[in-house]
Amino acid sequence: MATVISISNQKGGVGKSVTTASLGIGLARQGKKVLVIDIDPQASLTISLGFPKPDVIPVTLATVMSGIIEDNPLPPTAGIIHHAEGVDLMPASIELSGVEISLVNAMSRETILRQYLETIKHLYDHILLDTSPSLGMLTVNALAAVDSVLIPVQAEYLPAKGLELLLKTIARVHRQINPHLEIGGILPTMVDERTNDAKEIIESLNEAYGSRLHMFSHIPRSVRASEISKTGKSIYTYDPRGKVAAAYETLTREVLSVG
């Protein structure tokens, strides 16, 4: 039965999609069966895994979730695409923003995604959810369905209030909808190792959260990593000897070691 992790932060551009793809493919390279699910209507994970036009994909997460909302579910594996580097992908498209609106009036609106995962969890070792930069109903659906949340934080500005808001939302979902929900930890991303600013931000993240949250080893910034979304490849094939590939391999080991 799969462990389910969401990669979440309502701040945009912090490395959620790159982390989901790199951790997912990292786990697949360790022989694990992995499904990555794109829960962002902007579909950046889908695009970065080599589908530049998500709106022409016939079955996406939007179709799957609509089926459950309308009480007419698709077969469990419908729409799942196999990526050349060993992971399965449930793609997103802009139609997901319509699903988010229809969720408002849906019965069991917080658990539609959880209902979907219950039908496919037995097929995988790990399921990773790439959430959108918001704390709306789609993200609540993700938090309601997962075992843990991994929080990428861009080590460029102090995250301060935004992170508190995310932690409060996680605490509320934990209390009201998903008592199994845990915080896996904070992942500092895009760390410019040459600057003192980045080191100071990692230190202040440690001071503020280190005593109550796990801090994963950081992911450095690299030009090669900023290029991968256009290639449809993972960092392991695009820049195999680079420091970002090595850092995501370390993250993969850290995630495996906590189960």
- 32: contact with ligand ATP by CB under 6 A: no
Torsion of CA 182, 186, 189, 193, to 10 degrees: -160
Burial of 119 (0-12, 13-18, 19+ CB in 10 A): middle
Please choose, out of 6-14, 54-62, 71-79, 201-209, the segment that lies near ligand ATP by the rule CB under 6 A.
Answer: 6-14
Interactions with ligand ATP, residue window 134-193 (CB under 6 A): 189-190
d(CA 257, CA 259): 5
d(CA 202, CA 207): 9
- Residue closer to ligand ATP (CB basis): 183 or 245: 245
- 61: contact with ligand ATP by CB under 6 A: no
Torsion of CA 82, 133, 53, 96, to 10 degrees: 80
- Residue closer to ligand ATP (CB basis): 7 or 65: 7
- 18: contact with ligand ATP by CB under 6 A: yes
Burial of 56 (0-12, 13-18, 19+ CB in 10 A): exposed
One residue of 38, 40, 100, 156 binding ligand ATP per CB under 6 A: 40
- 44: contact with ligand ATP by CB under 6 A: yes
Residues lying near ligand ATP in the complex (CB under 6 A):
12-18, 40, 42, 44, 133, 189-190, 219, 221-222, 225-226, 229, 244
